[in-house]
Structure 1
């Protein structure tokens, strides 16, 4: 019987905070309790925001918390070919279509309904472009992203996303296609992440179904919030682990505060 495989997969676009610490510690504990493995993945497809100093900080912060992981660490920026291969498979089965709209144009043509990420549903303009014309435009080098065709996919749970972008125009990937691809390639059996990501799970399961990939067991844990009830986030400059450490807070104090002592 194979061992369970867990993963902690932060994006290096800022320093880790207590919310990250909780998720990492929970994955580590579940791996230990089940005799499983813990992998570390750096989700750095957004090369414009990812920085080496944040990667180094991730490694230092996790080690400070007493968390160990298997090596090598997988960096998504080194594996765009894997994501492109799965996008090509989805294109061959007509489950996705290229979108040539700029962000401004897509917003102007958007529907009045919204996806779980707060973005308005795409109006479907590029869905009407024939495969031949779309292929010619791609061959000419026109910048494009890739959207899933929910009408063809026919999954009721994932339709809340509409024809969402699964590969961005200037990146060649997105969180959705990259995480599904990586989880399969790394043999992840248990995905343990925050409840803020739970709405994405039906979309990930749909992609797994279309690509013939295994579906891990999913568990979505409660979020760590600040005194005002907001979930901790880099975007609101939540206090980082590095700041806490610099202020004299010990790793044992963090573990006790988060319920891991």
Structure 2
């Protein structure tokens, strides 16, 4: 059997919505006799001390994981190898578009919302050489389908857009969609549990996995935590991290109990929740979290 994972970006403290997703990923993995791995996705937005704080908070709510923590920044050779494979097969091309270029081109009536319109796809070498003098190129995947279908444990069959997405940014950093596919395959991860805001990216990632000869993982995109106004929960929404909640008098064990209660699971412990866990019985609506006032 393979493994599931939780893969935060070390951009700051985890909030209760992040911790809820981590608990769900742990429950899905452990209930299916999979391993549970922890990966720090630190290619971008890494903040000093954030990783240590995140590991502390995950342990504080009772989560355990198998093996060593993996960091993407230590695995650049894997990403370079995958990019080399795609380039050798003629599946990448240089793109010189700015975000503004893409936004203006995509606003045309015939363009799919959010899709790259293929501006640089057919540039000849002379035009590419001229553009290289102005700005460095990102590298995009030359895709054939315009959509791809994945199967999700909570959403069923989901078909989403597949455009010529970036796999290597113009600053030389591997893009998220490439890094996550390569890492999941290299780690033997065959179950991906994450927030449903990432559901639309799954078809792109599954398609890329197929090009690299990997099987797409089993997906479960879970509802997000929202604030009282119905917007995605953020750290500005009062006391929403373990440290902030501790100042407001709420312990890590109490936070875990609140999260488990939001999932209609026993609140006494993670083992008790695991014994009662049934993916089919999970709430499908977002969790509205009423944050406590900040203790500061």
2-side partners of 1:87 and 1:234: how far apart? 35
Give the deviation of 1:233 after TM superposition.
Answer: 3.2
Does the 8 Å CA contact 2:242/2:252 hold for their aligned counterparts? no
Return the TM-score normalized by structure 1.
Answer: 0.84
Does the 8 Å CA contact 2:146/2:162 hold for their aligned counterparts? no
Deviations 1:18-59 (A, max 9, x none): 11111111122223222321100001111xx21131111111
CA RMSD of aligned residues (A): 2.7
1-side partners of 2:173 and 2:116: how far apart? 19
The aligned counterpart of 1:146 is 139
| Residue number among 24, 28, 31 corresponding to 2:29 in the alignment | 31
Is residue 58 of structure 2 the alignment partner of residue 62 of structure 1?
A: yes
**Bigger mean CA deviation after superposition, 159-168 or 233-242:** 233-242
Q: 2:68 aligns to what SS in structure 1?
A: strand
Does the 8 Å CA contact 2:146/2:163 hold for their aligned counterparts? no
Larger RCO: Structure 1 or Structure 2 (Cα < 8 Å, ≥ 6 residues apart)? 1
Q: 1:71 aligns to what SS in structure 2?
A: coil
The aligned counterpart of 2:254 is 253
The 5 Å alignment of 1:82-161 reads 82-112=78-108, 113=111, 115=113, 120-130=114-124, 143-150=136-143, 153-157=144-148, 160-161=161-162
User: Given the superposition, is the C-alpha separation of residues 39 and 137 from structure 1 closer, same or farther in structure 2, using an over 3 Å criterion?
Assistant: farther
2-side partners of 1:110 and 1:35: how far apart? 44
Runs (5+) with no aligned partner, structure 1: none
1-side partners of 2:122 and 2:236: how far apart? 36
The aligned counterpart of 1:75 is 71
Considering fraction of residues, name the structure with more helix.
1
Return the TM-score normalized by structure 2.
Answer: 0.75
The aligned counterpart of 2:220 is 219
User: Given the superposition, is the C-alpha separation of residues 137 and 52 from structure 1 closer, same or farther in structure 2, using an over 3 Å criterion?
Assistant: farther
Give the deviation of 1:82 after TM superposition.
Answer: 1.3
2-side partners of 1:138 and 1:81: how far apart? 28
1-side partners of 2:15 and 2:5: how far apart? 18
